[in-house]
Structure 1
Amino acid sequence: MPGKSPMVPKGGDPLKDLYATILARKGADPETSHTARLFSRGTAKIAQKVGEEAVEAVIEAMRGDRDKLASESADLLYHLLVLWADAGLTPDDIYAVLATRQGISGIEEKKNRKA
């Protein structure tokens, strides 16, 4: 966002830092932690929240509101990380997939996917 300082990550990777916080909340009290509440409601609810946040990000993109798009994008990333944690995935798992796609065009990569 213009005029704002970028976040200085604690561990060098803000997604991994957030992921660590999410994991720490996994067994917490659902009455005191939103993240624990999401975990307690199960995969379907977590996935639903990812979908809702994705739609909200798309809406703000279509409106051209950069600040709201940034906010909704942060919400989307948070909920996506909760979904990864629920599924036993880590940011490194996703980074590994992305690394296999580096240097390959999107069109070529889609052709090479297994059905």
Structure 2
Amino acid sequence: METLARLEKVILERRNCDPETSYVALLKRDGRPRMARKLGEEAVEAVVAGLSGSDEELVGEAADVLFHLMVLLADREIALDDVLAELDRREGISGIEEKASRESQEETSNAD
């Protein structure tokens, strides 16, 4: 996790750099829709690599997904620690059980 913490720090530092020299600053300048699109593109590429690419391709695409997700999280001012805390909260809970609890929470909030 040290790697992700370092990456988060770099992303936060580079958001206000010159977009001509920083990809993070370029994404920030272009706005959240571009950040979200890039994350989606990288996720699709990871899926394709997972189905038909080499291990090396999947590793590279997974790194791209994590990077672009962290850029979007930073733009929303959501700390990586918040995501990790949510993963910790879900630990030991069946994925099926966890999804069902989220769906019932959504139904309750929609009824209000």
Q: TM-score, normalised by structure 2?
A: 0.89
Q: Which residues of structure 1 form unaligned runs of 5+?
A: 1-11
Distance 1:51 1:108 in 2: 26
Count of matched residue pairs: 104
Q: What are the equivalent positions in structure 2 for 1:13-32 lying under 5 Å apart?
A: 13-32=2-21
Q: CA shift at 1:100, angstroms?
A: 1.1
Q: Which has the higher helix share?
A: 2
C-alpha RMSD of the superposition? 0.9
Runs of 4+ in 1 over 2 A off after TM superposition: none
Distance 1:76 1:111 in 2: 26
Q: TM-score, normalised by structure 1?
A: 0.87
Q: Which residues of structure 2 form unaligned runs of 5+?
A: 107-112
Within the candidate set 59, 74, 94, 2:63 is matched to 74
1:101 corresponding residue in structure 2: 90
Counterpart amino acid of residue 100 in structure 2 = K
Does residue 87 of structure 2 align to residue 91 of structure 1? no
Q: CA shift at 1:96, angstroms?
A: 1.1
